[in-house]
A and B are shown apart, each in its own frame.
Chain A
């Protein structure tokens, strides 16, 4: 027989210093987690305190009611609606364009494409999602805008529609890929149940698969829209820098992010109202994406189909 005893060896190994590592791991992981939480708290603290500083100098009422954003000169006015409208125009165009296309792609990939096609297209989508946004910005101003101008001459060089479409293109892979994940994780037994009743593939997709995947799909759209709201490079390059609250999508505008980039890369004197306005705009952005997340969580809870 063998001259070793497994139980004895296990005992010996157990008493090793492994226990110290085992105990310190949660502590280390806790510290790592804390860093990211602390960073978030720090950012929030800065945003809030500097915003308060801004509102001690400028009228809060004007900020949230006025649509005139003219931050320069002796008599500046800070009406956030001009920038919010800029952001919303771009985001609305992007969403209207990207949601149907992204969902269509997700439905095709998850319900119709063969395994081979899916294996080729899915990684391509994920690569697309990694293209630097400055590339999209160039694409917008050097390709999309000229094409649009050739069919719709009133469009100016900087405009909402070109920026919106390209932001849409940027978020399509995200919607397609995440929604496809959500739909693929719906068990096949449910599709079989529906097809077995004589339902067509399309009926099965719309009546069984989409409802069962709805929470994942909404999550993907919210994530994509949040990215569109925060998108900076494309709008800075292609949308212009003219704050205005008009509904016109053919002329130059400025988004919240576009304003922040313009001022931080320019020469806002430290301590000026212009300088503090950056934080108020940042705070508004934060509130918008935060609200989006709350709404989406509510929608998800309301419509989730548990299985």
Chain B
């Protein structure tokens, strides 16, 4: 067991000793759990604000990985670092490594466009384009040069089916996506992300703006999607993390307190703060 005092000193000693990431060490390590993302001592600053401190994590293929933690602890910053969207904020500075399939994403060999084509993103607030449902979903393929109507038709239908919204919109593909409900818009955004057949899908609190029924639909969807994709999802909803994820990382004040199989995090966490947080005592 690691108590709070120890955990703090360990993380303060940046770089030397960092809490181990048990989700993929020891007994859980096995051949099938191939990593898609690994971070090595990753740090991020907004100006003087040290928002992410020595992050060492690993996320596996065909799993749903949840990131939980109180507001402002750096969850969004972290997932946006994974596809380099965080660099849109001019004052951001980073240090350390993020490996996507063993390639450093900050290396010049990989452009941000390539990375983001492989690593799609679904945002907190549904953000469809002010275009037709069809054009929304076809956007990614078109941007990457796919023009054939027949292929686009197929891709649009398949993505909408995979996002579990085909039946609701198949008769109105040419209507503006803004005419849909929030839950439907979010599934359109998921379909839009699926259309380029990415490898990893990042989701930043994808259900926080949705009603309970839509939330259930999106959660079921994550479960379906992990057969073909790897999903990293930020959530402030503990039940959601418990329901949908294979592993859970608990972020607190910019560092990772604990990352383990979801069952362990919720039933038998090593750190007192994790236990306090998942049992709802703070956050």
Q: Which of B83, B90, B127 contacts A190 (CB 8 A)?
A: B127
List the one stretch of A48-56, A206-214, A221-229 in contact with chain B. A206-214
Which residues of A lie under 8 Å from residue B125 when comparing CB positions? 189
- Whether A153 is near chain B, meaning CB under 8 Å from some CB there, is no
Given A199-B113, A307-B178, A193 contacting B143 (CB threshold 8 A): no
Rounded to whole angstroms, the CA-CA distance of A198 and B113 in the bound complex is 4
With an 8 Å Cβ cutoff, the count of chain B residues facing the other chain is 29
- Whether B128 is near chain A, meaning CB under 8 Å from some CB there, is yes
Given A189-B125, A207-B139, A196 contacting B130 (CB threshold 8 A): no
Interface string of B138-176 (1 = CB under 8 A from A): 011001100000000000000000000000000000001
Which residues of B lie under 8 Å from residue A126 when comparing CB positions? none
- Whether B24 is near chain A, meaning CB under 8 Å from some CB there, is no
> Within A184-235, which residues are at the interface with B (CB < 8 Å)?
187, 189-190, 192-200, 203, 207-208, 211-212
Given A193-B128, A196-B83, A197-B116, A207 contacting B143 (CB threshold 8 A): yes
Q: Which of A192, A200, A306 contacts B130 (CB 8 A)?
A: A306
* Nearest-Cβ distance from residue B279 to partner chain A, whole angstroms: 34
List the one stretch of B41-49, B54-62, B188-196, B260-268 in contact with chain A. B188-196
Rounded to whole angstroms, the CA-CA distance of A62 and B243 in the bound complex is 82
Nearest neighbor of B83 in chain A, beta-carbon distance: A196
Most-contacted residue by chain B among A195, A198, A208, A306 (CB, 10 A): A198
Rounded to whole angstroms, the CA-CA distance of A307 and B185 in the bound complex is 12
Q: Are A195 and B127 in contact (CB under 8 A)?
A: no
Nearest neighbor of A189 in chain B, beta-carbon distance: B127
Q: Are A198 and B192 in contact (CB under 8 A)?
A: no
How extensive is the interface on chain A, given as a class? Answer: 20 to 34
Interface string of B114-141 (1 = CB under 8 A from A): 1111001101010111110000000110
Which residues of A lie under 8 Å from residue B90 when comparing CB positions? 114-115
* Nearest-Cβ distance from residue B271 to partner chain A, whole angstroms: 33
- Whether B88 is near chain A, meaning CB under 8 Å from some CB there, is yes
- Whether B85 is near chain A, meaning CB under 8 Å from some CB there, is yes
Supply 10 further A-B pairs (C-beta < 8 A) apart from A195-B88, A197-B140, A199-B143.
Answer: A192-B85, A193-B127, A196-B120, A197-B192, A198-B113, A199-B113, A207-B139, A208-B129, A305-B129, A306-B130
Some 21 contacts from A to B, beta carbons below 8 A apart, are A114-B90, A190-B127, A192-B121, A192-B127, A193-B129, A196-B85, A196-B116, A196-B123, A196-B193, A197-B139, A197-B143, A198-B114, A198-B115, A198-B117, A198-B140, A198-B143, A198-B196, A199-B139, A203-B143, A305-B176, A306-B130
Interface residues of B (CB under 8 A from A): 83, 85, 88, 90, 112-117, 120-121, 123, 125, 127-131, 139-140, 143-144, 176, 178, 189, 192-193, 196
Interface residues of A (CB under 8 A from B): 114-115, 187, 189-190, 192-200, 203, 207-208, 211-212, 305-307
